[in-house]
C-alpha cells in the first residue's frame, strides 16, 4: 500500500489537543482537510507526522511548540490607551482584531485584557508556546 511522501496531496481527519487534553480543533464538523505535503499549508510538526502513513492508518502525534506555532514572544504583547481606538469601540476580552501594516500585510491580535484606561493586545498565535497533540487518520492520498 502507498505511503505518504513529500509532494503528495492528502485528506486527513484530525483532532488537536493541548497538553491538558482540551481540544482546540477538529475536522469532525467540516470533513477531512486536504493539503499537499511540503507546501507549508499546515504546521510543520503536523505535516511531518503524516509522512509515511498509509490510507486508513491512525496515529497520535505530539508536536512541540517549535514545530507548531512557535515560541511565545512577550514583545508581541502591548498595552494601548483606550483613546487610541475609534470612538464608540467596545473592546471585548478574547476579541480578535486585524490591522494593516504600512507594507500592506495584515496581522491579527487578540484582546487579552481590558481596563478603563487601556487595552492589552497579544500578537502571538493563540497556540504559540504550546506543545500540541493530534489524533490523525489518513483518509486518502489524493
What confidence tier does 70 reach under pLDDT thresholds 50, 70, 90?
very high
- In CATH, the architecture of 9-70+127-141 is Roll (3.10)
Dig out the grid coordinates for 35 from the structure: 493539503
Domain residue ranges in the chain: 9-70+127-141, 74-122
pLDDT value, residue 12: 97
pLDDT value, residue 63: 96
What is the topology classification, in CATH, of domain 74-122? Thrombin, subunit H (2.40.10)
Residue pLDDT, tens place only, 44-68: 999 999 999 999 999 999 999 999 9
What confidence tier does 99 reach under pLDDT thresholds 50, 70, 90?
confident
Name the average pLDDT for the chain: 95
Q: What is the mean pLDDT of residues 30-41?
A: 95
- Distance CA(25)–CA(31), nearest Å, equals 12
Alpha helices in the chain (DSSP H): 44-50
CB of 47 within 8 A of CB of 138? Answer: no
Q: Is the pLDDT of residue 1 over 80?
A: no
Amino acid at each position: 500500500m502507498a505511503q505518504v511522501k513529500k509532494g503528495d496531496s492528502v485528506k486527513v481527519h484530525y483532532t488537536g489537543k493541548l497538553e491538558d487534553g482540551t481540544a482546540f480543533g477538529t475536522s469532525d464538523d467540516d470533513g477531512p482537510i486536504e493539503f499537499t505535503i511540503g507546501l507549508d499549508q499546515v504546521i510543520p510538526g503536523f505535516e511531518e507526522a503524516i509522512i509515511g502513513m498509509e490510507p486508513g492508518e491512525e496515529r497520535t502525534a505530539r508536536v512541540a511548540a517549535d514545530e507548531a506555532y512557535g515560541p511565545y514572544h512577550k514583545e508581541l504583547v502591548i498595552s494601548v490607551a483606550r483613546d487610541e481606538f475609534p470612538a464608540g469601540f467596545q473592546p471585548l476580552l478574547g476579541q480578535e482584531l486585524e490591522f494593516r501594516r504600512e507594507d500592506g500585510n495584515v496581522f491579527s491580535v487578540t484582546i487579552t485584557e481590558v481596563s478603563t484606561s487601556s487595552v492589552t493586545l497579544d500578537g502571538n498565535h493563540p497556540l504559540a508556546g504550546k506543545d500540541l497533540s493530534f489524533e490523525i487518520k489518513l483518509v486518502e492520498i489524493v
